[in-house]
Structure 1
Amino acid sequence: MRKFIFIILLITSINIVSAQDTRIEQPVNNFEKLWNEFNARYASFKIKNINWSEIYKKYRPLINENTTNDSLFKVCNKMLLELKDGHVNLIHYGKKGKVINKASDGSSSKFLKKFPLSKEEKPNIYQLLKTTDKTLKDKGFSIVGVSKKGSMEYAISKDYGYLRILSMGNLSISDYRKHVDKAVNAFENLKGVIIDIRFNGGGDDKTSFEIASRFTDKKRIVLYKRERKKGTSEFKKLETKHLKPSGKKQFTKPIIILTSDLTASAAEVFTMIMKELPYVTIVGDHTNGIFSDMYDFKLPNGWLATLSHQQYFSSEMKNFESIGIEPDIKLLNEPQNIIDKIDPLIGKGIEELKKTTANN
């Protein structure tokens, strides 16, 4: 399979990128706005066992009317890190929209620690992708389709299909629709399919539903969601989300979903949706645990902040926020896989498909 470029939308454990900003711009007012907006809208204090009032007592004394932008940013960043939420961000823009400071989002991915995004580090995520490609080739797979920007790639062997989705937001809905329809058409006469979202940091829930609609056999409830009412501990009415077949063809034979703790946001929504299908098995690691859409707002000094203001539930009303969705079969990639030039999750996926399709 060919070499391609991909974008991971989940940014994890970023170091603060800093340029000196010693200006003083109403630091107390900005801190109060940030804390109050989270206090009024953030949806997961209880789930995370966070007392936001105690957090205020911890960090508010560190700010006074003479606090510089640099110092304010560092304090605010530390405060937000308490939430350990990949959808929580604080961004300080400079001239011409250039980012001066970007706070760490507080989420952590063991997968990215093992396989960093930097090509300078060894091993890295690109080497793992090459290992995956080699394993597929060794197992008799050949590439048959690639989307624009490499966001979606699919391959087939004699009996099985493989679909890699690297982002839920890098293409238009119409492009995703076009490419998943091509993939499903290529898979039509195969016995089973592996869908690989280990490298997928999210995007748009609409994409998740659009892709999943090509793999469902009937209309069913797949999740519920609700939004916190601003300034109260109550939530708005629970929304019921259905998945129903869409497109000319659907693939409803055995499916293996490959996940990692880098699988996040809209990719987790996809996992939650697909988990409802009786012919789906999840192999890999638990997902990242950030489901909510991001609510964004600006501070008086122009900084941009984002927070999680929703809660997502499975059809059984289980909330996976901050814990992620556990796989049916736990199996992790390790740096040794690159040395051995074998991706064990591909092997396990094929093994499980053989078990479920033995009589077909």
Structure 2
Amino acid sequence: MKNVKIFFESFKEYYLDFGLSNTDWNAVYESAISGVDATTSDEELFEIFYQAILNLNDTHVSISSGSIGTASINNKPVFWEVLLEEFMLLNNLGSTLPVELTQAANEYIDDSVNAFKQITASYAEEQSSITTFGDDALMWFQSSNIGYLAINKMAGLSPDLDLEGEIGQANTGINKALGELADTDALIVDVRFNNGGFDAVSMMYAKHLITNGGILASKEVSDHLGNMFTLNYELEPSSNAYTKPIFILTSASTVSAAEVFVLLMKSQPNVIIVGENTQGSLSDALEKSLPNGFKFNLSNEKYLSADGQWYEKSGIPADVEVPFLDYSSRQVGEDLAIEAVISLLD
């Protein structure tokens, strides 16, 4: 009983807003506690907690156990879920993937992602000019007078994930990329596969891409007593900031710190967002532990845009809506988002 009470009370005290999912958390608790007694096993308790968090449909909410594993559910399907559903549809598999086809499904997902990235790279003026940095954290090229810069992650640029090292590497990489793309007339910044990392890395990238400084976003956090604290994301453009038109490519696989990057960039007058709504999982994950060894994460922060908009769950909307990983366009070798940018510039 103690584990259940701590779990549910922690959410009640810290979770950012049950209204986002229209969840009656007290009712969820009453339902859960009715199925728990002294004989409840850890496996059964894990399932009870998982069923509880399903109500929230929140990417940053999870339950984990060293012996059982980790369970969570995304707010919106990310790329591998989209491609898994596509695989099952193409193979008439209904709603359940047979165990014997797991490897085939994984290979289909990997092959589809690689093929899509090759389609994107095919827009490069010269294939030999494609440059990568930081274990593919960044990738860039030029197509006629348009620059393309993929920012694929906001962490993992330094060997030990040291924050200062991450920021330093991000600074080095973005300076190198923008130095080579400085003479272009417009820039595509692709964060469609970026599932996040450090906000500080997002801020470093944004500094090199904004023209107007100031408070570009804010974050509100409340403690267990309900006291609210606000952190302003105040940035000034770097000396070599890119000042021409910028097109940010987004998808439901643009998550967490990648969404913070989009939030910062959204404030700029020369920026157009092209693609899909982002995941809608901007809040950081607050980690908690239970006496039985279980760990769980919950969302406890409220990120606001420069004009006070809150995009948790809904995701940051695109100015120009374009589907990501569209099957038919992949078959003919087109990246619809890049095609949309080309059309906008014509």
The answer on whether the counterparts of 1:223 and 1:273 sit within 8 Å (CA) in structure 2 is yes
Distance 1:129 1:346, change over 3 A: farther
CA-CA distance at 1:317 after TM superposition: 1.0
Which of the numbers 82, 87, 94 marks the counterpart of 2:55?
82
Q: What do the CA deviations read for 1:287-329 (whole angstroms, capped 9, x no partner)?
A: 1101111110111011111111111111111111110011001
CA-CA distance at 1:157 after TM superposition: 2.5
Structure 1 distance, partners of 2:185, 2:151, is 20
Deviates more, 1:127-136 or 1:77-86: 127-136
- Tell me if 1:240 matches 2:232: yes
The answer on whether the counterparts of 2:278 and 2:315 sit within 8 Å (CA) in structure 1 is yes
- Tell me if 1:115 matches 2:115: no
- Tell me if 1:124 matches 2:97: no
Distance 1:166 1:119, change over 3 A: farther
CA-CA distance at 1:31 after TM superposition: 1.2
Which protein is richer in helix relative to its size? 2
Query: Residue type matched to 1:112 in 2?
Result: W
CA-CA distance at 1:348 after TM superposition: 1.2
The 5-angstrom pairing of residues 25-104 of structure 1 reads: 28-94=1-67, 100-104=68-72
Distance 1:113 1:345, change over 3 A: same
User: Helix, strand or coil: the match of 2:264?
Assistant: helix
- Tell me if 1:154 matches 2:140: yes
Deviates more, 1:320-329 or 1:150-159: 150-159
CA-CA distance at 1:129 after TM superposition: 4.2
TM-score by length of 2: 0.86
Which of the numbers 212, 225, 242 marks the counterpart of 2:219?
225
Q: What do the CA deviations read for 1:254-273 (whole angstroms, capped 9, x no partner)?
A: 01111111111011111111
Match of 2:119 in 1: 134
Q: Which runs of 5+ in 1 are unaligned?
A: 1-27, 95-99, 356-360
CA-CA distance at 1:123 after TM superposition: 4.9
CA-CA distance at 1:127 after TM superposition: 2.4
Match of 1:25 in 2: none
Which of the numbers 195, 200, 211 marks the counterpart of 2:205?
211
Structure 2 distance, partners of 1:102, 1:239, is 31
Match of 1:178 in 2: 172
Query: Residue type matched to 2:290 in 1?
Result: L
Higher relative contact order (CA closer than 8 Å, sequence separation 6+): 1
Structure 1 distance, partners of 2:154, 2:132, is 15
Which of the numbers 185, 189, 205 marks the counterpart of 2:183?
189
The RMSD of aligned alpha carbons is 2.0
Q: What do the CA deviations read for 1:35-87 (whole angstroms, capped 9, x no partner)?
A: 11111111122333322111111211011111001100001111011111100
Distance 1:106 1:31, change over 3 A: farther
The answer on whether the counterparts of 1:194 and 1:256 sit within 8 Å (CA) in structure 2 is yes
Which of the numbers 244, 257, 260 marks the counterpart of 1:266?
257
The answer on whether the counterparts of 2:134 and 2:173 sit within 8 Å (CA) in structure 1 is no
Structure 2 distance, partners of 1:327, 1:141, is 29
- Tell me if 1:105 matches 2:78: no
- Taking every aligned residue pair, what percent have the same amino acid on both sides? 27
Match of 2:99 in 1: none
TM-score by length of 1: 0.83
Distance 1:152 1:139, change over 3 A: closer
CA-CA distance at 1:126 after TM superposition: 4.5
Distance 1:184 1:138, change over 3 A: closer
Deviates more, 1:311-320 or 1:121-130: 121-130
CA-CA distance at 1:125 after TM superposition: 5.5
CA-CA distance at 1:212 after TM superposition: 0.6
Count of aligned pairs: 319
User: Helix, strand or coil: the match of 1:34?
Assistant: helix
User: Helix, strand or coil: the match of 1:149?
Assistant: coil
The answer on whether the counterparts of 1:132 and 1:343 sit within 8 Å (CA) in structure 2 is no
Q: Which runs of 5+ in 2 are unaligned?
A: 86-101, 158-165
